[in-house]
Amino acid sequence: MTMISNATSGLMATQVVMNAISNNVANSDTDGYSRQTVTLSSVVSGGVSVSSVDRQTSFYLSQQTWTTTSDVGYYTSYSEYATYLEELMSSDSLDVTTSLTTFYSALEAASSSPDDDSLRTAVLTDAEAVCDAVNSLAGYMDELQGQIDSQIGSTLSTVNDLASQVAALNDKIVALQSSDGDTSSLEDSRDAAITSLSELVDISTVAQDDGSYTISLPQGQTLVSGNKSGSLDYASDTGLTLTYGKQTSRVNEEMSGSLGGLLAFSSEVLEPTQESLNELAATIADEFNALQTTGYDLNSSAGTGLFSYDSADAASTLAIADDFSGDDLAFAGSASAGTGDNTNLLSMLDLQGDQEDTYTALVTKLGLVSSQASSALTTSSSLQSSLQDSLSSISGVNLDEEAANLVSYQNIYSANSKVLTVADELFDTVLNMF
Amino acid sequence: MRVSTSQTTAILLKSMQNQYAEYTTIAEQLSTGSSINKPSDNAIGYARVSNLTAQQTQLEQYIENIETASSQLSASETQYSSMTDVMGSIRDLVVQAANGTYDSEDLANIATEISGLMETMVDLCNQTDASGNYLFSGSLSSTAPVVYDEATDTYSYAGDDYQREVSVGDGITVASTDNLSDVFFSGGSSFFDDLNGLVTALSSGDNSTASSMLDTIDSASSSLSSAIASIGARSNQLDTLSSAHSETLLYSEELSNSISEADYAETTLRSEEILTTLKVTQQVLSSVLGLSLFDEL
C-alpha cells in the first residue's frame, strides 16, 4: 500500500509545482509579480509533501529600490519644472535682456537726433516691449506656480489614497497569514502600492512579525501602521502637515519624492526667481524714472516718470505711465536747453549694462540649477534601474527556466503515474494467485 | 546570474530609450546649428553668448550712430566750406573798396554786391537738415540761428553754444553738431552787424571803415577754418572708431559662434553611431523575443 500512497503523494506534490509554474508563466510579464517556488520534502513514513510555496523577493532590495525611487521622483519633478522655467526665461519673446538691449539701442539711436519724433516713438515702443516681456514672464511664472500647487494637491490625494490602500492590504495579509493562507499576490500588490508611494514621498518601511508593514516619514512620523493610515495636507500658511488618528503634526518639507521636489522647486527656485524679477522690474522703472525727473522734455517741461508699477507686484504691473508720449521723454539736461539737447539721454544710456547683467545672471543661475538637477536625475535613475534589475533577477520569471521545470515535473508526474500502474498490476498479480 | 525574461526585455528597451533621447538632443543641435539650445545645456556658455549678443547689438548701434554723426558732420562741413568761399568773395570786394581808386558810384555797386553775398551767408547759416532741424543753432534746433531785426536793422544769434554729443562707443561721445556763436558772434560783437555797417557806409560813398573790416573778415575766416579743421578731426575719430567697432563686432561674432556652434563633424558622427547601435539593439531585441524553450517542447 506504501507504493500507492507514495505515488499519490508524488502526483499531488507535482501538481502543486506545476500549478506554481503555470502561475509564473501566466504572470511572466506582470508588473510587480514575484515568482513562486515550491519546496518539497520527503516524509518520514514515505512519500513527498509540499513544505512551502515561497514568494521570491528581497525586502532589503525592495527598501533600497523605494529609497532610490524617492530620489528619482524628487529630481524628475524638480528638473522638469526647472527646464521649463529656463526655457521660458531664455525664449526669444520673453528674454528680458533682449528687450532691454533693443530699448537701449533705440535710445542710442535717439542720441544723434533727440528732437526726431520717429526716434522718440521708437524708444517708447521698445520700452513697451520691455514691459510686455516682463509682464508675460511674470504671468507665466504665476501660471507655473498654479500648476505646481495643483500638482501638489493631486500628489497629496494620491499619497493619502495609497497609504490607505497599504493599510487595507496590511489588514488582509495579517488575517490571511494567521490562517496560513497564500498572501503572495496581496504582498505583490502592497509592494506595488509602496513603490508608487515612494515615488511621491520620502518613506521608510519596516516589516513587522505579523506580516504588516509600518511606513513612516523622514522624521519618524507614522503614515501607515497595521490597518491604520494617516493623511497629508498642504496649505501655504500651515505648510505640510500629517494627520494620524486625532493628532496633526507639522512635516519637514525638505524630503525626497516628487512632493519634496515640487515644494523645493517652488521655494528654492520659483519664488526667488519671481522676487528677483520683481526687483529687476522695480529697478528698471526706478532708475529710468529718476533720470526722467532730472531732465526736460521736448516742450522744456520737467520730465515725469516713463514707467509705472505697483510695488506689491512690480513685474506683473510694470507699464508705460498713463498718457506718456514720445514728447515726454526728458532727453534735455536743462530747461533752457533746446530740443536738440541730449545731455540727459546720455546719462540714461549708462543704466543699460547692470540691468541686462542682472537678468542674464538670473537665467544663468537657473541653467546651472537645472543642469545639476538633470544630472542628479540621470544618476538616481540609473541607480534605480540597477536596483530594479537586481530585484528582477530574484523575483522575475524566466520562461526558459519554467519550461525546463515544466518538462522535468511532467516527467516526474508520468513516473509517479507509472508507479501507481505498476503497484496496481502487482496487486492484481497477487489477487490472481487465488 | 539569474536573469528573468522581462529583465532582458526591460534592459534592451531602456537602452533603446536612452539612445532615442540622445539622438533627439543631437538632432536638435544639428537642426539649430547650436550646441546651446537652453541655458542648462551649458550655463556658463549661455551667459557668455548672452553678453556677447548684447555687445553685438550695442556695437551695431554705435556703428549706426557713427554713420548718422558722420553725415551730420559732413553736412555742417559742406556749409562751412561754402561760407569760406563766400567769405573769400566778400573779402575781395572789401579789398577793392578799401584801396581808394573807386568813386562813390562804384562803391555803391560794391555795397550792393556785398549785401547780396551777405544774404547768401545768412542763408548758409540758417540751413536745415533733412528733417528740417537747423544745423547751427546748438540745442535750439527748431530756431533759425541768425535772425535779422528790421526795426533795429541788426543781426543777432538766436541759437546757443551747445554741441550735441552722440554716443559712439562705450563711454565715448563725439560732438556731432556745431554752432555759430564762436564763428560770427564772439565777444558780444556781430560779424553781420559790422558788415552791414560797412555796406551802409559804402552805399553813401564812405570807405573809411573798409580796411578795419578786413581784420574782422580775417578773424571770422580763421574761426571758420578752425571749425572745419575740428569737424575733420572728429570725422577721422569717427572713422577710426567705426573700423574698430567693426573689427570687434566680427571678433565678438566669431567668439559667440565658437562657444555655441554645434560641432557638425563630431555631432554627425555621433548620430551615425547612435543609429547603428539602435539598429543592432532592435535586432537583438527581436531575436531575444523569439527565443523560448517553449517553442521546442
CB contact under 8 A, A101 and B6: no
Q: Considering Cα of B248, then B250, then B255, then B256, what sign does the dihedral take?
A: positive
Residues 6+ apart with CB under 8 A from A240: A232, A233, A234, A250, A251, A252, A253, A259, A263
pLDDT in tens, A219-274: 899 999 999 999 999 998 999 999 999 999 999 999 999 999 999 999 999 999 99
Q: Do A29 and B72 touch (CB under 8 A)?
A: no
A109/chain B closest Cα distance in angstroms:
6
Which residues of chain B from 161 to 220 reach within 8 Å of chain A, CB to CB? Answer: 162, 164-167, 173, 176-177
Nearest-CA distance B146 → chain A (Å): 16
Q: What confidence category does residue A338 fall into, taking pLDDT thresholds of 50, 70 and 90? A: confident
Q: Indicate yes or no: pTM above 0.90.
A: no
Residue whose entry in the numeric block shows the C-alpha cell 524638480 = A78
ipTM of the complex: 0.79
Distance CA A197, CA A108 (A): 58
Backbone angles phi, psi at B154, to 5 degrees: -130, 155
> Which residues in chain A are closer than 8 Å to B60, comparing Cβ atoms?
105
Nearest residue to A106 via CA among A348, A429, A387, A292: A348
Q: Please provide the average confidence, as pLDDT, over all residues in chain A.
A: 94
C-alpha span between A280 and A282 (Å, rounded) = 5
Q: For each successive 10 residues of chain B (297 residues), what is the average pLDDT? A: 85 90 91 91 91 92 94 94 96 91 90 94 92 89 91 91 90 90 83 92 90 91 93 95 96 93 90 92 87 83
Q: Is A424 on the interface with B (CB under 8 A)?
A: no
Q: Do B139 and A337 touch (CB under 8 A)?
A: yes
Closest-CA distance, A338 to chain B, in angstroms, reads: 4
Q: Which residues of B touch A339 (CB under 8 A)?
A: 139-142
Which residues of B are less than 8 Å from A403 in CB distance? Answer: 292-294, 296-297
B4 touches chain A (CB under 8 A): yes
Q: How far apart are CA B84 and CA B125, in angstroms?
A: 12
Residue A143 has pLDDT above 70, yes or no: yes
- Contact yes or no for A360 and B51 at CB 8 A: yes
Beta-carbon contacts of residue B70 (< 8 Å; ≥ 6 apart): B235, B238, B239, B242
Percent of chain A with pLDDT over 70: 100
The secondary structure of residue B262, as a DSSP letter, is -
Output the pLDDT for position A434. Answer: 81
pLDDT in tens, A34-72: 999 999 999 998 899 999 889 999 999 999 999 999 999
Cβ atoms of residues B144 and B134 within 8 Å: yes
Interface mutation vs chain A, best among B14, B38, B58, most A CBs within 10 Å:
B38
The reported pLDDT for the residue numbered A181 is 86
**Distance between CA atoms of B213 and B126, rounded to whole angstroms?**
23
A117 touches A301 (CB < 8 A): no
Report yes or no: A332 at the B interface, CB cutoff 8 Å.
Answer: yes
**What pLDDT sits at residue B9?**
86
Residues in B touching A400 (Cβ below 8 Å): 5, 291-293
Exposed, middle or buried: residue B106 (CB in 10 Å: 0-12, 13-18, 19+)? Answer: middle
Q: Over the stretch A111-136, which tens digit does the pLDDT of each residue have? A: 988 988 899 999 999 999 999 999 99
- Which pLDDT band holds residue A1 (cuts at 50, 70, 90)? low
pLDDT given for residue A29 in this prediction: 87
| Residue B123 half-sphere exposure toward CB, CA atoms < 13 A | 8
Condensed to tens digits (0 to 9), the pLDDT of residues A368-378 reads 999 999 999 99
- B/e letters for B5-25, b = 16+ CB within 10 Å, e = fewer, are bbbbebbbeeebebbeebbee
Nearest to B40 among A370, A395, A407 (CB): A370
Amino acid identity of B84? T
State residue B183's pLDDT score: 86
Q: How crowded is residue B262: how many other Cβ atoms within 10 Å of its Cβ?
A: 19
Instruction: List A residues 236-265 in contact with B (Cβ-Cβ < 8 A).
Output: none
Cβ neighbours for B266, distance < 8 A, ≥ 6 positions apart: none
Span A377-404, average pLDDT? 93
Tell whether B43 lies on the interface with A, counting CB pairs under 8 A.
yes
pLDDT on residue A250: 94
Q: What is the pLDDT of residues A297-324, one digit of tens each?
A: 999 899 999 999 999 999 999 999 999 9
**Mind listing the pLDDT tens digit for each residue in B215-246?**
999 999 999 999 999 999 999 999 999 999 99
Q: What is the mean predicted confidence (pLDDT) over A190-211?
A: 96
How many percent of chain A have pLDDT more than 90? 87
Phi, psi angles (nearest 5°) of residue A176:
-70, -40
Question: Helix and strand tally (H, E) in chain A?
Answer: 11, 11
Chain B residue numbers touching A352 (CB-CB < 8 A): 58
Within 140-199 of A, beta carbons closer than 8 Å to B belong to none
Contact between chains at B38 and A86 (C-beta distance less than 8 A): yes
Q: Which residues of A touch B141 (CB under 8 A)?
A: 115, 338-340
d(CA B260, CA B257): 5
